[in-house]
Chains A and B, each alone.
Chain A
């Protein structure tokens, strides 16, 4: 009994200590909260979202901070979906996305009372890559790709797709569900977001792993952002031509993405600032800066710059928002 009394005493002290910590922490948090609100002037821009857009966001942040040393810009890479998740909770100022915001995410933002604008910042394309040694695939149609990637696909060997292909097992690589590249690819090829065969190698947000995987197997195929393919020129891989809506085989490249002929796998990349963040000058400045330096930034991050029309439209949106 005495022992128990003692132990209870110790336990309660421990609990008290913990509660004490908690209180202190919350106060601390409250203080930082107000500070951050006031910090608006002294400058914090929190960006999170697509790992595909991140290289552009980081380059923009870096160049912007060189000119505005008092502003602190941070860039996270939680994926487009992960980014919107925290964005719609009001945890970030700008969400980077490699697709437009989805209905579910719109609902989440609406519920939290977060309004936002969509601003196009660059063009990108998904490329399908195969091993350099692969000599049977040149130009792929959406139907053929869907046969390979569809969730109902029962093709295990290439010969199941086309009898003239080798009788070798198909090995597939691609980003995971948090990635905008994944959402975009599944919708464009399989007609429905998230529709993909269960046995492909999910490489999460680490796009480069798909390139490593493909370079190691003659019969592998992967989908990755075009920028990754351009930068991995040294790797033993090759991009596939895609048969577009007009029935032409089109190589993924700057010109074909900009003129829209590389469809349906060419796309625009976005930044979504929240209305609250846009009230702050540093956020407005950052977005304006990103658009003004669009070409340099796209080049630094291996994206395809906006076309003139796109740039004008984005600029108009930012000007309008800044004017508010």
Chain B
């Protein structure tokens, strides 16, 4: 398997060398064009994001104050309304997603990458399905969650952890795929050396492979959490309520709401005050996401010393 990959790579490299030698001139303008196309792509992506942030910040500028964090949602006084319950709801949801999706996703990736025999049809079947799952619309996970997490199956009822579990299912493929890539990037020489020292497969994975792969896995987890934090549709199905003026009791009891659900609710109100609140909520959501990701990046950099 490794040897065929290496062979392919060396053939490709030889090919490229030949091409460069034969037609260097014609390659130059293509090189330039390619560069500008890439720059254009990144500009489009960046400008879209920037436009969203600037638009929301401008629209919600009057409401970007402490009230937004310290006050509960209010229908009667939109001027001083906040979204404290939604912030706590989102925090609890995300902690739930994290503790669920990280062990599950990484274990699945370790199995598929280090243990599974890809010659077996069931392992290939599982791989194929994980890739397909990543493309399933989130509302489908919401329906699944409503049926098997809230009502039947786990039967948690409409509590925050039911939302966490549904979101975890939604982002599990992302974590698995990213973690597998991280594991693939670990040089095989490390494994061979470990086996050579007489280590078992478990010892090799736990002490040698995982520590090296952690930064890549954290990147995958950041992507997954970033997707989960903005999801609204599945949460509405599994019981996030739109008007809650108290913080959730725990992940397993009581009503909860989340920032995107609150934004959705406010954005659909006709009064301009509520739409300003929604815009301010968008900025807050981005801020929470940034804080979350900064923490993850800090973690990743700590582990990066294992980089080889």
Interface residue ranges of A50-73 to B (CB < 8 Å): 51, 54-55, 57-59, 61-63, 65, 72-73
- Inter-chain CA distance A227–B115, complex, in Å, is 62
**B-binding segment of A20-28, A111-119, A251-259:** A20-28
Contacts A29-B157, A208-B269; is A75 near B76 (CB within 8 Å)? Answer: no
In the complex, the answer to whether B255 meets A46 with C-beta atoms within 8 Å is yes
- Complex: chain A residue closest to B146, CB-CB: A86
In the complex, the answer to whether A4 meets B117 with C-beta atoms within 8 Å is yes
In the complex, the answer to whether B241 meets A74 with C-beta atoms within 8 Å is yes
Contact of A58 among B151, B157, B243, B272 (CB under 8 A): B243
Interface residue ranges of A65-110 to B (CB < 8 Å): 65, 72-78, 89, 91
Contacts A10-B107, A78-B236; is A48 near B241 (CB within 8 Å)? Answer: yes
Interface residue ranges of A180-215 to B (CB < 8 Å): 205-209, 211
In the complex, the answer to whether B156 meets A51 with C-beta atoms within 8 Å is no
Contacts A25-B154, A48-B241, A77-B265; is A6 near B115 (CB within 8 Å)? Answer: yes
Which residues of the partner chain A approach B236 to less than 8 Å between Cβ atoms? 78
Which residues of the partner chain B approach A26 to less than 8 Å between Cβ atoms? 154-155
Contacts A10-B107, A25-B161, A32-B252; is A72 near B246 (CB within 8 Å)? Answer: yes
Interface size class of B (residues with CB under 8 A): 35 or more
In the complex, the answer to whether A207 meets B270 with C-beta atoms within 8 Å is yes
B88 to chain A, nearest CB (A): 14
- Asked whether A164 is an interface residue with its Cβ less than 8 Å from the other chain, the reply is no
In the complex, the answer to whether A7 meets B111 with C-beta atoms within 8 Å is yes
In the complex, the answer to whether B268 meets A25 with C-beta atoms within 8 Å is no
Which residues of the partner chain B approach A72 to less than 8 Å between Cβ atoms? 245-246, 254-255
In the complex, the answer to whether A75 meets B241 with C-beta atoms within 8 Å is yes
- Asked whether B158 is an interface residue with its Cβ less than 8 Å from the other chain, the reply is yes
A45 to chain B, nearest CB (A): 10
- Asked whether A3 is an interface residue with its Cβ less than 8 Å from the other chain, the reply is yes
A169 to chain B, nearest CB (A): 26
- Inter-chain CA distance A321–B275, complex, in Å, is 39
Contacts A22-B154, A72-B255, A75-B243; is A205 near B272 (CB within 8 Å)? Answer: no
- Complex: chain B residue closest to A58, CB-CB: B75
Which residues of the partner chain A approach B267 to less than 8 Å between Cβ atoms? 206, 208
Q: Mark B142-175, 1 if CB is under 8 A from A, else 0.
A: 0000000001011111110100000000000000
- Asked whether B244 is an interface residue with its Cβ less than 8 Å from the other chain, the reply is yes
In the complex, the answer to whether B252 meets A228 with C-beta atoms within 8 Å is no
In the complex, the answer to whether B242 meets A211 with C-beta atoms within 8 Å is no
- Asked whether A276 is an interface residue with its Cβ less than 8 Å from the other chain, the reply is no
A196 to chain B, nearest CB (A): 21
- 27 A-B pairs with CB atoms under 8 Å apart are A3-B115, A6-B115, A7-B115, A22-B154, A25-B155, A28-B253, A29-B159, A31-B253, A32-B157, A32-B159, A32-B254, A35-B253, A46-B255, A54-B242, A57-B243, A59-B75, A62-B75, A63-B76, A75-B241, A76-B242, A77-B242, A205-B268, A208-B267, A208-B268, A231-B270, A232-B270, A234-B272
Q: Given A75-B242, A208-B269, list of 6 further CB < 8 A pairs?
A: A6-B115, A6-B201, A7-B115, A11-B111, A29-B154, A58-B243
